[in-house]
Structure formats: structure tokens, C-alpha cells
Amino acid sequence: MKIDKEITSTDKLLNAIRAKHGENSTDKKSAYLETSANTDPHKKKKSRISLGVVIRSKMLVLILLDRFSKSEFEIIDFAFYKFDSGMTRQSKDFPVFLSQKIAETCGGQTKIDIWTNISMANVNIKCIKIPKVSDAQIANTVYWTYKKEVSFDEKKDIFDYEIIGKTVQNGEKKNSVMVYTAPAVEVKELNSLFNLTGYPLSGITVIPFAFQNFFRTGAVQTGDVVCTVFVSNNYSRIDIFDKNNIVLSREVKTGITSMVELITREMSGSNLSELQAFEMEKDSKNIEESSQTVYAQKVLNSFLNNSLDSEKADNESILNHDKVFPIIKPVLQRLVKQVERTLEYYSVNSGGIGVSQIFVSGGLSGYTHFLSMIEEHVRLPVKVLGNSFQFPDDELSVIWQDLFVPAIGIALSANSYTPNLNYTYKEKEKELKGKQTNKYIFTGFITIIAFLSLFLLMQYSAIDDKVQKKSLIEKRFREFNPKIDQNFILQLVAKSEKIRERYEKYADNYLNMALIQQISALTPSNIRLISCITNVAGKNKDNILIEGLVVNRKKQQDLALAVYLVKLESSPLIKEIKVNFKTAEKINGKELLYFKAELEII
């Protein structure tokens, strides 16, 4: 979106992108997303679509990726849009603008992972070391260790951490932890903004973590320790990564704006013909200080764009290299010095471990002289991060391709390896507990199923066993054919009578002994038996006459006798008991109860 009538290099790029995305671009993109799985060998693998969104102060940057695996991806589409005059992220019409641009870029797709970033202005990233503690104590240990070094308000800031490795410090084993804090209000505003567009966010991260994605996914191959230098408008970031983990992150208050200010100041104090020609084309009402800044930005953009080709630099740039370089040289030197100091600081604090290579991205990535300056000072290979990616439009210059590098890193995000302000350690712990609970439930369910299955198998086995026994019995029954007649039955009856008579004889012979044993067993210590006589009361009725004394206290003698007779009556050999006589008698000075009872035998 143009700000004024003049066609700048930025406008040319916008026009090129618009030409690439014509009126039917959405249809074409949708067709690509639907049919590429049949035409591209990569699409035989399961893939997912992700969108990286970078909202800058005056520009929206979008990049759409088709991801085949953690490290394999293809850039489907990319675009950036300059805001209309007066538009900001807080404008009422910005959600509509953002929704339209996302829809155009995504080609109508809805199942897309959308990630964006927040400003690093109030974000703090720090690597700390904590002693080895149990998993339940890690969060608390990290919190208080970080709290001692960095002041933050847990009510206003999001606190999150990630364990990145193990180390030994002063002979003690410790965990290396990356900790960061970010303002919760900015995260809430971003989520609300994207919810209004109809494209809710999958995650929110920051630029250093976006660069970390390149190394963790393997999209950019590196050594053990690398450094990234990202030059933005108002600041520059220097980050160091050890084994794909960020271990040092710092911000330098120097960037493209610093160079624009130097050029503006130089032009204000000189009579450059280019500036005079530029001002003559403007109406008198537009000749303000802002015009000089816009022109200075145009001078710097043209200079950086053409710096890759020295011949173009002399012929096409608004100010050639010899005029512009001395102006911006102090800023370049300051940046290089900060890189050098950062590398020295890391080397000292890491026990002499040095960085193996440097990756540059941002506004100066296309300026080869800046890259050479870094190489000369730190004596390390310097690469342009944007060169690691294949863009669909090969005509884009390195500097314009590098504009999309942060968005690519953001689009490569995933909760499994990217710190997400929407998915902190608290949410991870809740999800882990939920998974563990589900695991226990599933394990219990499987155990019950296994037990029931085993029980069912046992029942089937028992049924089979009974069926086999039944079959065997039926077979024997079918085979059994006894010769039964009247004589055989009479023989069995006679044999049974003999057996019964023999048992009755045994009973008669041992009945008295059994009775005496039974009576003795049931007689308690407070009953003293005097005699036990067997007599015949009738033809088929045998009785036993017993005499005895009850030695309890006088008031308890009748009760003791009654209890004793009940016990005797409970014997299976005694049918009925009849007390014939009882009286109180004194024996040896004690008053005892004398009794006679008749026991009817069954």
C-alpha cells in the first residue's frame, strides 16, 4: 500500500508481489493446496499448513509454509503489506485489514497453525543454573532462582521456562534452564485481535525463539555454537545458541533508524544536489523535516539494495558508496563492536567455548561490506540467514528475502520445541497430568478387560471340561448294560439286610458306652453325678436314670440344674428328660441340691 505518489523500491516490490498474486491468486493457492499432494513427491507424506505473522510498526509480513516433517517444508506464499496512513495495530479497522490479508495469503484454508510474535521491548530471556531437584520442585526452584536475578511482577508478566541441558558447576551437577518473562497484557491483546479476525492463534513467541526454530528443526545446519545478528529498524538482537538452545540474548539500541538519522542530519547540513532535486518536486506545504527522513530512508534503501552490485552502486544509487558509507560507518562499527563484545563475554562465561559461525539477518543482511566488517573483527565465517531458504520468486534480492526470515522462523513453531506464551509450563503440567490420568484409566480399563478375558477363557475351559466329562459319562452309560432280574434284586436286598443288621448290632453293643461318653462330656464342673443306671421301662424303650448334686449357691442351684438338663437334651442320643425328684440336702455343712432324672434314649 503506497503512502505517496512516488514509486519507491519498496513499492516496486509490493507491485511485484501483487502481480504474483493477481485477482485469482486465492483460487490458485487453494488449487495448489488441494492438488499438490498428487503432483509433488513430498506431498506423499502427511503435511500441515502453518502461517507466520509478523506485525511491525508500519508493515504486515506473512509467510505460508507447507510442512512435510520437522525439518522439511516449502514456502507456498509470502507477502507484506504497508499500512494505510494513520493505521496502527490499535486501529478499529485493523482486525478487518488483518483478516483480509490472512484470507488472501491462506487461500481460503481454515485448518492452519497460525503463530505470531510480540515485541521484545518488555521480554526478558535469561539462562540460569539450578541444582538437581525432583520434578515436583523444579518449577519452584526455577522461579525463585530467576526472581533473585530479575525483577518481575507475576501478576502482570507471564513466567515460563525450559530445561535445556545438564552441566557441572564447582563439582556439583546442575540443570541449565532458559527462563523468560513477557507482559501478559500484550499476549491477551494479540489473542483478542486474532480472535476478532476469525483466525485464532496457535501460539505466540518472540524473534529469538523463531531463530531457535531454525536450528532445532534442522532447517539451518549449524555447528555446536552459533550466533545470530538480527538488525531491525529501532534495535538489533544478538543471540547465541549452544546445541540448538538459546543461551545468551541481548538487545542493542542500534538499527536501521540510526543510519537514517545520520543521513538526514548529513543532508540537513549540506547542499546535496539530490536533496535539492527531491525537494523541488514537492509542494511547498510538504517540505518538512519528515520529508527529509523519508528521503533519507529512500537513500539508504537504494544504497543497501544496490550494494550487492558495485557497478549498480555507482550508476543507480541516489548516493553512491563513497558518499553514504562514511555517514553510516559509525553505526556499522558500533554494531560490529557489540557483536565482538558479546562473543568475548560468552567465551569467558562458558569456559572458553567459542562460537563457530555467525548468521546475519534483517536490514543489513544484503550489505556485503557489513558482513566483511564482522568477519574481519571476529575472524569467523559470516552467512546470510535468508540464503538458507528457497523462495518461489527468485528475483527477490537478498535483503528483501531476508525480510521474511523472522516470519519463516515463526511459521516453523510447534509446541514440542518452541516456547509458547499461550502454552507455558503450567499448561504443559496440566496436560501431562491429564495424559497421566487418562493413561491410568486406560491401563485400568485394559487390566479389567484382560482379567475379564482371562475369566471368560477359564469359563470356556471349564465348560469344555464339563462337556468332555459329560460325553465320557454318556459314553459309559451307553456302554453300561447290566443284567438285572428278580434274583439279582433279591440278592442285593438280602445283602443290604445283613449290612443293616450288622450296623444295628454295633449300635446295641456300643450304645451304653456312647451314652456315658456323651453324658460325661455335657456334665459341667458344678454338677456332681452320683450314679448312672440303665433300666428298661417298656418293650422298645430304654431309659437311663441319673442321680447327682448341684454344688452352686442356693439361689443359683435350680438355674444350674435347668441349664444342665437343656444341654443333655440337646444330645442327638437323648430324646426327652424327666426330673423325678429333687431336694435340698446338707453335706459337710454345705446346702446342696439333690436330684434324680430319667433320660429317654432315642
pLDDT, one tens digit per residue, over 553-592 is 888 888 988 998 898 888 888 888 888 888 888 888 888 8
Least confident of 251-265, 285-299, 417-431: 285-299
Question: Residue 313 above 60 pLDDT?
Answer: no
Exposure string of 473-489, with b = 16+ CB inside 10 Å and e = fewer, is eeeeeeeeeeeeeeeee
List own/partner pairs for 67-75 with CB under 8 A and 24 or more apart: 67/412, 68/42, 68/43, 69/45, 70/217, 70/218, 70/414, 71/217, 71/218, 71/219, 72/42, 72/45, 73/219, 73/412, 74/40, 74/42, 74/390, 75/389, 75/390, 75/391, 75/392, 75/408
Q: Specify the CATH number for the domain of residue 383.
A: 3.30.420.40
- The answer to whether position 453 is within a domain reads no
Q: What Rg do the C-alpha atoms of the chain give, in angstroms? A: 50
Domain identity same for 234 and 379: yes
Point out the domain boundary residue: 388, 418, 440: 388
CA distance 382 to 372: 8
Looking at residue 541, what is its pLDDT? Answer: 56
Cα–Cα dist 9/396, whole Å: 12
Stretch 303-329: mean pLDDT, rounded?
62
When pLDDT is averaged across residues 262-269 and rounded to a whole number, the result is: 80
In this predicted structure, which of 267-271, 320-324, 374-378 has the lowest mean pLDDT? 267-271
Q: Which of 205-219, 312-326, 519-533 has the lowest mean pLDDT?
A: 312-326
Residue 64 pLDDT > 60: yes
Please indicate, yes or no, if residue 118 is contained in any of the structural domains: no
* 15-60 tens-digit pLDDT: 554 454 444 444 545 555 554 444 454 444 567 899 999 998 888 9
309 DSSP 8-state letter: S
Q: Give domain status of residue 558, yes or no.
A: yes
| Residues in CB range of 133: below 8 A, 6 or more apart | 141
Domain containing 373 equals 224-388
In a domain, 351, yes or no: yes
Yes or no: say if 52 and 410 are a contact pair by the CB < 8 Å rule: yes
What digits encode the pLDDT tens for the residues 169-215? 778 888 999 999 999 999 999 999 999 999 999 999 999 999 999 99
- State residue 1's pLDDT score: 30
Burial of 161 (0-12, 13-18, 19+ CB in 10 A): buried
What are 419-461's pLDDT values in tens digits?
A: 999 999 998 888 888 888 899 999 999 999 999 999 999 999 9
- Overall average pLDDT of the 502-524 stretch: 84
Which amino acid does the sequence have at 479? E
Q: Between 23 and 508, name the one with better pLDDT.
A: 508
Percentage of residues in the chain having pLDDT higher than 90: 32
- For residues 369 and 229, membership in a common domain is answered with yes
Of residues 477 and 6, more confidently modeled: 477
- What total number of domains does the chain contain? 2
Answer yes or no: is pLDDT of 475 > 60.
yes
Kindly state whether residue 119 falls inside one of the protein's structural domains. Answer: no
Average pLDDT, the chain: 81
Distance CA 292, CA 285 (A): 13
Give pLDDT, residue 308: 46
Task: Judge residue 103's burial from the number of C-beta atoms within 10 Å of its C-beta, 0-12 exposed, 13-18 middle, 19 or more buried.
Answer: middle
Task: Report, as an integer, the average pLDDT of 87-94.
Answer: 87
Q: What is the CATH number of the domain that holds 559?
A: 3.30.980.50
Q: Is residue 104 part of a domain?
A: no
The answer to whether the CB of 40 falls within 8 A of the CB of 122 is: no
pLDDT at 306: 64
The reported pLDDT for the residue numbered 321 is: 62
Q: Is residue 180 part of a domain?
A: no
Choose one of 361, 388, 415: the last residue of a domain.
388
Domain termination residue (choose one: 348, 372, 388): 388
Q: Which pLDDT score is estimated for 393?
A: 67
Highest average pLDDT, of 25-34, 257-266, 280-289, comes from 257-266
pLDDT at 164 over 60: yes
Judged on CB neighbours under 10 Å (0-12, 13-18, 19+), 461 is exposed
Is residue 381 located within the same domain as residue 517? no
Rounded to two decimals, the pTM is: 0.67
Examine residue 524 and state whether it is found in any structural domain, yes or no: yes
